[in-house]
Amino acid sequence: MSRAPSPAVSESVGTELAGYVGVPYLEHGRTPAGWDCYGLVYYLSRRYLHHAVPSYSLSYTDANSADDAFAEHVPEWQRLTVGEAEPGDVLVLNCIGLPVHCALVVGAGTMLHCMRGRATVLERFTSAAWSRRIEGAYRWTS
């Protein structure tokens, strides 16, 4: 299943999400008071895209269990090429040699993400620092 590109979604995601730059990192956080990388995806996907993505908040304690939690919902995530990624899609990125980080695509080549020790930022996933770390792009289909 794939969703048709929607200028309203793209415009909404592209403009509204800039207001979330600076939200602090909070382990297992799921609100703008603080979130981890998936908490950002969870909150913004539900609020702006109306996707019923799972929280996973209590499903993981480390990188291995996060991977297991995500695996439970693989059928609901359609794998894409990076070139197919649109605003609202999710990038899974390698950090520490494992695919343990995620970001929300907000525009052509741009992602919004949050990492331990850093607040939420907009960055180019096409940059040399991030493009080599992309494990995959995914779209919620349920």
In the structure encoding, which two tokens stand for residue 63, read together?
Answer: 């990188």
∠ CA 103-138-35, nearest 5°, is 30
Domains of the chain: 7-140 (3.90.1720.10)
Overall residue count recorded for the chain in this entry: 142
CA distance 84 to 41: 18
Reduced to 3 states (helix: H, G, I; strand: E, B; else coil), residue 91 is: strand
CA 120/CA 36 separation, integer angstroms: 9
pLDDT of residue 13: 62
User: Which regions of the chain are under pLDDT 70?
Assistant: 1-14, 57-74
Q: What is the pLDDT of residue 84?
A: 93
Whole-number pLDDT of residue 9 = 53
39 neighbors 3 (Cβ within 8 angstroms): no
Residue 5: what pLDDT?
44
Output the six-digit token pair for 93: 């990125």
**What's the distance, Cα to Cα, between the start and end of the chain in Å?**
9
CA distance 75 to 112: 24
